[in-house]
Amino acid sequence: MSAEAHSDGAAANGPMLKLVDVHKRFGQLEVLRGVDLEIDRGEVVCVIGPSGSGKSTLLRCINLLEPPESGQIFLEGTEITGGGAKQGVNFVRRRVGMVFQQFNLFPHKSAVENICIAQEKVLGRDRAEAREKAERLLARVGLADKVGEYPDRLSGGQQQRVAIARALAMDPHAILFDEVTSALDPELVGEVLDTMRELAEEGMTMIVVTHEMGFARDVGRRVAFMDGGVVVECGPSAEVLGNPQQARTKRFLGQVLEH
């Protein structure tokens, strides 16, 4: 079912996600210092920036794994943050999937079982329906022959594709990707990026924290450069990566693209 089918008419005309002046601190460290960002339906936004700039925390705030101290986050027109939030964590979990740098698969469960668990527990699907969907999604990410394999028998790239299939099993309206290739051996990165590229082509709304500048340029509609807990620059991928306007963006890209 499409994202639009779950939303009312007003929400369908607005952005999928909207962040307004979002702040997040851990103790004395202010990690997000007023982030404003909008993501449209079907849009792929790649978030780049140096380590410690707040990229991963931004995703965790969107998914309410780390509720922000202040500011507002709207999902499909509904506020999900603060005292004014009409909907809580369950509302978000049913609409926003997340794929982490570490695969977070249950080691004692097979690939197909890892994909079934949340379907049964959160969505209330019966076992047969959950398994049918899990097997279909494993085939979609090129792992039809790995249904019964356990994580320790899979490569890192295969485990990450199982994690992507697990996120897709929840029928999300958007998926957050947090440095999903950074823990992989270089030769395995391509198979994961290819899966993400296919999702983008199918119209999935995606926010991708990444160091893969080629992917950001080719697949991202927009690139947001973060530093010091704020979005320094955001615009069409080709413009931000090819002709950045901010000195800090130029410096970062100069260092990254040289290597």
149 within domain boundaries: yes
Examine residue 151 and state whether it is found in any structural domain, yes or no: yes
Mean pLDDT, consecutive 10-residue stretches, the chain (259 aa), reads 38 83 94 96 96 94 92 92 70 90 92 95 92 96 95 94 95 95 88 94 95 93 96 96 95 83
Total of domains in the chain: 1
Give CA–CA dist 220/224, Å, rounded: 10
Per-residue confidence (pLDDT) for residue 146, from 0 to 100: 96
| Helical (H) or strand (E) element with 36 | strand 29-39
In this predicted structure, what is the pLDDT of residue 187?
A: 86
| E strands present in 66-111 | 70-75, 78-79, 96-99
H-helix or E-strand containing 167?
helix 156-168
Let me know if residue 128 belongs to a domain: yes
228 lies in a domain?
no
Provide the residue range defining the domain that includes 155: 105-171
For residue 162, is it within any domain?
yes
Classify 29 in phi/psi space as left (phi over 0), alpha (psi -120 to 50) or beta.
beta
Cα first-last separation, the chain: 42
Could you tell me if residue 148 is inside a domain?
A: yes
Cα distances (Å, whole numbers) of residue 157 to 5, 59, 101: 33, 22, 11
The structure's pTM equals 0.90
In a domain? residue 4: no
Q: Is residue 126 included in any domain, yes or no?
A: yes
